[in-house]
Structure 1
């Protein structure tokens, strides 16, 4: 049984339109609560063992969980292909997802709030697992579709240079907190799955109360600069390997 429902072509087109117009699209009530319950317990146990502080998990650490099953879901892969092709007017390449689970908690969770950034991947899929229902839930905030897909990695670097610096980060944070800047705000609901153009949209999360847990799984789809000589050279100079997608091939349509 597939853990993600089949999404008709016209429904996928509506999601893509919502992403273009409003910043994000959503498939509602697509993951039953009973499937999320085991993952919630896993998260709560691991956060507790980590002293109630922020913790993140890579795809390898999520083997055997619902999140691995979702990455292998034929229906989930299909809707991601449809959205990518709708947004780029290009055939979806045979790549895998880059998957991570982030659990905001404690004082270290606060350090991950209001960090405005562009993703390195065209499509970002957000799966809420645990979202506080009282106090500050750590809502997703977004200035949607503020740049195009850059033709070169150098163009992407220029964008990030102007965004990923203390002056701009302070300006955006103060502007949002004062109400002078009004980003799109998404109050996420577990059971729903959210899609947005992560590469093109400036986004962050608001603060989450330190005594609560905000856990979200992220799936990133298609790095347009993965073959860039400049990108891979810079990563090598920093002593880092290029980010590897989890080894679950996204099948191409027959």
Structure 2
């Protein structure tokens, strides 16, 4: 399951962490793959930068031993959790692999590596870099589902359209044969903003039912939970309640899409 976007600042990492929290809360075994060279998801889940082997080494050496050693149990899952929540840490070294155009063999690197892992999971969440270059193309080629994360801003429609077309292009080329895009997830929505209302309607007019429900509102609870290095579902602030329900629903949509495929 790839989470990607054309541009930064739309909250991909926040969505990834929210889904990871929902998986842990629901008892769903999850692996997070931090493919973004900024490695913010790694910091959010581990509370510190990851070590080696990291995702760069996994992609460079797609061997079972390498990928198994790279998988780290997160602190979120160490105290009474009903499920596994593990991560393959991100690294700035992966930026060297982010070429704008990759050949067919290079596009298969992440898929080949993940297929060789020993541990199996109910869901694998891949946090992509904020671009449509090689690393994102690798992620889509390895995924059976994908979500474009967008914010309700001026460039939302064009950015979402380009991102969705990338998935279609990779499928047409035979590089992402398993991929079934779920659509566009609107994040950081402020319901009282007339501009945000207009941009969401613009997205719905163009993409129809490809706009995923629920729309995620901008709430301080998500940032506070991340700042405290705790799962959203364990955060006691009142502003987190609606978000936990929304992430539970989003996770349910992802899992249900696999059962009905």
Q: TM-score, normalised by structure 1?
A: 0.26
- Structure in which a larger fraction of residues adopt helix: 2
- Structure in which a larger fraction of residues adopt strand: 1
Q: TM-score, normalised by structure 2?
A: 0.26
